């Protein structure tokens, strides 16, 4: 895994600034780089896989006026998660914190992204993968994201290095081994990213 120092990251991509609080699932060290991407490159279309109640989405929408479309994907309230540890994260009202935002669109299905194909989604500037943290879930979400992202767009994965959900780390390490370390971890956080040389 290639690790980029935070100071180096901010020199390259700017520093994400925001008002408000990050969600309990996405701390300051992880939301700040996402905001930096959106604010520096004036990104317009974002897809979040695993939107939960929408705290991360709210932080982005409240602080990034360039965003024109924000699609949040999650599962219905009585869905069973692949990993038992994630069952408590299933939202009763997915995206409830951004339901009044005109940019927001929610896609709620029994199986989340497993019920979707690239044709269900617009070409995106940034895709945040933070849904099913099983190995299959992360891998399938990565395939979907790579089929949906625009050329030059950014894919972010959350929870790399989180010992509670080790499959995230395992999948990303495997991808880096096969593809030559194209996914970077931002120092002192759980967020990885890749700037995609190919896309829709």
Give the CA angle between residues 169, 80, 95 to the nearest 5°.
80
Position 1 scores a pLDDT of 83
Confidence of residue 200 (pLDDT cuts 50, 70, 90): confident
The mean pLDDT value for 100-109 works out to 97
The mean pLDDT value for 136-163 works out to 97
What is the rounded average pLDDT for all residues in the chain? Answer: 95
For 12-27, write each residue's pLDDT tens digit. Answer: 999 888 887 777 778 8
Q: Global pTM?
A: 0.96
Confidence of residue 137 (pLDDT cuts 50, 70, 90): very high
Distance between CA atoms of residues 95 and 9, nearest Å: 29
Tell me the CA distances in angstroms from 3 to 29, 88, 152, one per residue in order. Answer: 14, 31, 20
Structural domains of the chain, ranges and CATH numbers in brackets? 28-195 (3.40.50.150)
For 71-83, write each residue's pLDDT tens digit. Answer: 999 999 999 999 9
Position 178 scores a pLDDT of 95
The mean pLDDT value for 127-131 works out to 97
Position 27 scores a pLDDT of 87
Strand order in the sheet with 2-4: 2-4, 184-186, 191-195, 149-158, 124-129, 45-49, 69-75, 104-109
């Amino acid at each position: 895994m290639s690790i980029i120092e935070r100071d180096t990251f901010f020199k390259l991509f700017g520093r994400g600034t925001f008002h408000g609080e990050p969600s309990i699932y996405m701390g300051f060290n992880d939301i700040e780089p996402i905001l930096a991407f959106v604010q520096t490159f004036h990104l317009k279309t974002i897809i979040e896989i695993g939107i939960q109640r929408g705290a991360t989405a709210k932080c982005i929408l409240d602080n990034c006026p360039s965003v024109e479309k924000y699609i949040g994907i999650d599962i219905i309230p009585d869905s069973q998660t692949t990993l038992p540890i994630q069952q408590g994260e299933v939202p009763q009202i997915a995206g409830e914190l951004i339901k009044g935002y005109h940019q927001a669109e929610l896609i709620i299905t029994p199986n989340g992204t497993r019920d979707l194909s690239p044709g269900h989604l617009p070409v995106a500037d940034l895709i945040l993968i933070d849904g099913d943290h099983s190995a299959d879930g992360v891998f399938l979400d990565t395939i979907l994201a790579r089929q949906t992202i625009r050329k030059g767009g950014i894919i972010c994965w959350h929870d790399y290095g989180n010992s509670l959900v080790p499959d995230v780390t395992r999948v990303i390490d495997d991808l880096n081994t096969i593809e030559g370390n194209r996914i970077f971890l931002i120092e002192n956080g759980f967020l990885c990213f890749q700037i995609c040389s190919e896309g829709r």
